[in-house]
Chains A and B, each alone.
Chain A
């Protein structure tokens, strides 16, 4: 919401001083247009969160032990670097938002944390990623992915019943299938934690694809958190959803962070501001800035970050 205000603000200023269109080119490779210089010449307007939104969520007081530790992580696709030397630490009880313009490597970085990038031919990784002190490279991929769960941009439930979607996630590799009786409490618990149970309690056997988009996404979250992972990765989980569903999921993220470390990639700065405790700003594969949400949004150290959080480009 404040991003909209910023755009308005900027366009007023530029039309007063120079007759250039206020619309910015999206590509960062293009030469800097004059209007940006004008914006930057002005004293940086502090980004004010919308007051009632701020009140909704205090910064995390559940900050727990470090779960994931990234040391000089780089990812390249067929020799082309997508992420360069990123070092971060991700703690339980905190939400880390990865922000940055399109193509800056935030999704790639996210997918590296559960080694999904390995499925892309030609992808390679450098540096170290430790999960509870253990290099994820040495963990069996299926084990790693049930400890570091993921939710995608598009809700992608399997073409099965609601119950089976969650039960499928609970089934362990190499073990005999548990009976429905044994699974039922676990499935119900996962659906409850994902805030979906009350809506679907009487229709657990209905096909998951009949649910609405927002419900489908919460089912995907239930599916991801059912095996009790330590880290939850979310790749723009709300970008395919309406504002009401988005609000529900944002609230849910606030709840989930009590027991998990959450890493969320988002294009929506307002959302990052609302849900995150820590923010990492990436630009062209580099980690430009990393810090508490207030520091990054209100007093960014890097010029790039300031421009981005003010909605100047991207």
Chain B
């Protein structure tokens, strides 16, 4: 194999002498292997180290105990609230991002190709989503704060006793988190729709179906696995964001509800996530309880990995299983 490669390389007339390019080839190959292996090594190191630390420090009680303000570490409790905070914020973020992302992907691929106006509009939408994708989450967080501090939106967020608006709540954080999840979800759905062969659409049109029926009954069911992949990516981004939780969720130790209506009080309340819990308990934060930080980080890692596996399964398993379409 290598002899053939050497020969074809020569006939293409590289300037350097065979010896020198062979070395560079070797170097390139070595670099490729080295990079690949060291990435594996780094990933393994993270997982193993966090696993080691996690198992060392994690007590089952931590997951089920609420955190408490305490003078010594023995009394500071677990991280039930941050864990719930992560789950709630992810759920809100995905619940907002998924319909938006899927609908805009459908519009771009199925409707945005028609006339000149819709095509230029489609280009604007595409680049807007790219801009959102490229915006750092701290910038999104600051922008979200500006929006949710508006008096008009005051009912959506946590308020001080006198009526001052903080602009912080699960709703505010979840809404801004959806902007993090939207670009990967959109891209995955769009790529999936573009990959559906044109004859599938024609088959539906030839049966006298409208475009929207075709989208809902034929196209979307067949890109379910793409949407699942996009959801995984989106949740990973949400779960990993610290800045938005710090700024828009208040990063309070416990979940603080606002008002008396059962679910709404949670949505309007503040809280924290596992990321901010890790940050606060790391030597960099106020808590300075590294063992709790390790335990929470381990739980976070397991959560994300489990989610990846679960959604992957869901998307793959559903691909050609009977869908009850009618």
Indicate whether A302 reaches chain B with its CB closer than 8 angstroms: no
Q: Roughly how many angstroms separate A177 CA and B326 CA in the complex, as a whole number?
A: 7
Bound together, the chains give a CA A180 to CA B325 distance in angstroms of 11
| A146 lies within 8 A of chain B by Cβ | yes
Q: Residue B319 at the A interface, CB < 8 A?
A: yes
**B204 and A164: CB pair below 8 A?**
no
A271 at the interface (CB under 8 A from B): no
Are B202 and A173 neighbours in the complex by a CB distance under 8 Å?
no
**Selected contact of A152 from candidates B203, B323, B324, CB within 8 Å:** B203
Is A156 a contact of B200 with CB atoms below 8 Å? yes
Q: Is the CB of A173 within 8 A of B200?
A: no
Interfacial chain A residues near B203, Cβ < 8 Å:
152, 156-158, 220
User: Which chain A residues lie closer than 8 Å to B322 at the CB level?
Assistant: 160-161, 164, 205-207
A169 within 8 A of B: yes
| CA gap between A169 and B203 in the complex, in Å | 10
Stretch at the interface among B54-62, B124-132, B208-216: B208-216
Instruction: Determine the distance from Cα of A104 to Cα of B325 in the docked complex, in whole angstroms.
Output: 39
B72 at the interface (CB under 8 A from A): no
Interface size on A, residues (CB 8 A): 37
Contacts of A223 in B (CB 8 A): 207
B165 to chain A, nearest CB (A): 47
Q: Please, which residues of chain B bring their CB within 8 A of the CB of A272?
A: none
Whether the pair B324, A164 counts as a contact (CB closer than 8 A) is yes
- Asked if residues A173 and B213 are in contact (CB atoms below 8 Å), the reply is yes
**Binary CB contact string for chain B from 189 to 227 against chain A (1 if under 8 A, 0 otherwise):** 000000001011011111111100100011001100000
Interface membership of A56, Cβ < 8 A: no
Q: Does chain A have a CB within 8 A of B71?
A: no
Q: How far is the CA of A157 from the CA of B209 in the complex (A)?
A: 15
Please tell me if A150 contacts chain B, counting CB pairs below 8 Å: yes
From 107 to 157 in chain B, residues with beta carbon under 8 angstroms from any chain A beta carbon are none
B321 CB within 8 Å of chain A = yes
| A168 adjacent to B217 (CB under 8 Å) | yes
Q: Does B320 contact A (CB under 8 A)?
A: yes
Residue of B209, B319, B324 near A173 (CB, 8 A) is B209
The number of residue pairs between A and B whose CB atoms lie closer than 8 Å in the complex comes to: 86
Contact B210–A145 (Cβ < 8 Å): no
Among B200, B207, B213, the most chain A Cβ lie within 10 Å of the Cβ of B207
Q: Which residues of B contact A158 (CB under 8 A)?
A: 200, 203-204, 217-218, 222, 325
User: Which residues on the B side are within 8 Å of A159 (C-beta)?
Assistant: 218, 221-222, 319-320, 323
Q: By the criterion CB–CB under 8 Å, are A144 and B217 in contact? A: no
A239 near B: Cβ within 8 Å? no
Report whether B208 and A227 are in contact in the complex, using a CB–CB cutoff of 8 Å.
yes
Rounded to whole Å, the gap between the CB of B230 and the closest CB of chain A is: 19
Is there an interface contact between A183 and B326, defined as CB atoms closer than 8 Å? yes
A209: Cβ under 8 A from any B Cβ:
yes
**A162, closest chain B residue (CB):** B322
B206–A171 CB distance below 8 A: no
Inter-chain contact B199/A152, CB cutoff 8 Å: yes
**Interchain nearest-CB distance for B28 vs A (Å):** 42
Bound complex: CA of A224 vs CA of B207, how far in Å? Answer: 7
In Å, the complex CA distance between A119 and B320 comes to 28
Known: A143-B208, A173-B208. A167 touches B326 (CB 8 A): yes
The docked-state distance in angstroms from the alpha carbon of A171 to that of B319 is 23
Complex contact B325–A119 (CB within 8 A): no
Interface flag for A142 (CB, 8 Å): yes
A156 neighbours in B (Cβ, 8 Å): 197, 199-200, 202-203
A38 part of interface (Cβ distance < 8 Å): no
Least distance between A64 CB and chain B CB atoms (Å): 23
Decide: A145 and B208 in contact? CB cutoff 8 A: yes
Chain A 142-193 residues near chain B, CB threshold 8 A = 142-146, 149-150, 152, 154, 156-161, 164, 167-169, 171, 173, 177, 180, 183
Q: Are B206 and A114 in contact (CB under 8 A)?
A: yes
The answer to whether B206 touches A142, judged by C-beta atoms less than 8 angstroms apart, is: no
With a cutoff of 8 Å between Cβ atoms, the chain A residues found around residue B197 in the complex are 156
Cβ distance B322 to chain A, nearest Cβ, rounded Å = 4
Taking CB atoms, residues of chain B closer than 8 Å to A146 are 207-208
Contacts of B326 in A (CB 8 A): 164, 167-168, 171, 177, 180, 183
Residue A116 CB within 8 A of the other chain? yes
Report chain B residues within 8 Å CB of A119: 202, 205
Which residues of B sit under 8 angstroms from A152, Cβ to Cβ? 199, 202-203, 206
Q: Nearest B residue to A220 by beta-carbon distance?
A: B203
Provide the A223-257 mask, 1 if CB < 8 A to any CB of B, else 0. 11001000000000000000000000000000000
| B320 close to A145 (CB less than 8 A) | no
Q: How far is the CA of A45 from the CA of B210 in the complex (A)?
A: 50
Complex-state Cα separation, A156 to B198, whole angstroms: 10
A149-B325 contact in complex given A158-B218, A159-B320, C-beta closer than 8 Å: no
- List 14 contacting pairs A-B, 8 Å CB cutoff, sorted by A: A116-B206, A119-B205, A141-B208, A142-B208, A156-B203, A157-B203, A159-B320, A160-B221, A160-B323, A161-B322, A164-B323, A171-B326, A210-B320, A223-B207
The 7 A-B pairs with the shortest beta carbon distances in the complex, nearest first, are A146-B208, A145-B208, A150-B206, A161-B322, A142-B208, A167-B326, A156-B203
Query: Chain A residues in contact with chain B, CB under 8 A?
Result: 114, 116, 119, 141-146, 149-150, 152, 154, 156-161, 164, 167-169, 171, 173, 177, 180, 183, 205-207, 209-210, 220, 223-224, 227
Known contacts A160-B322, A167-B326, A168-B325; 9 additional CB pairs below 8 A are A116-B205, A143-B208, A144-B208, A149-B207, A152-B202, A158-B204, A168-B209, A224-B207, A227-B208
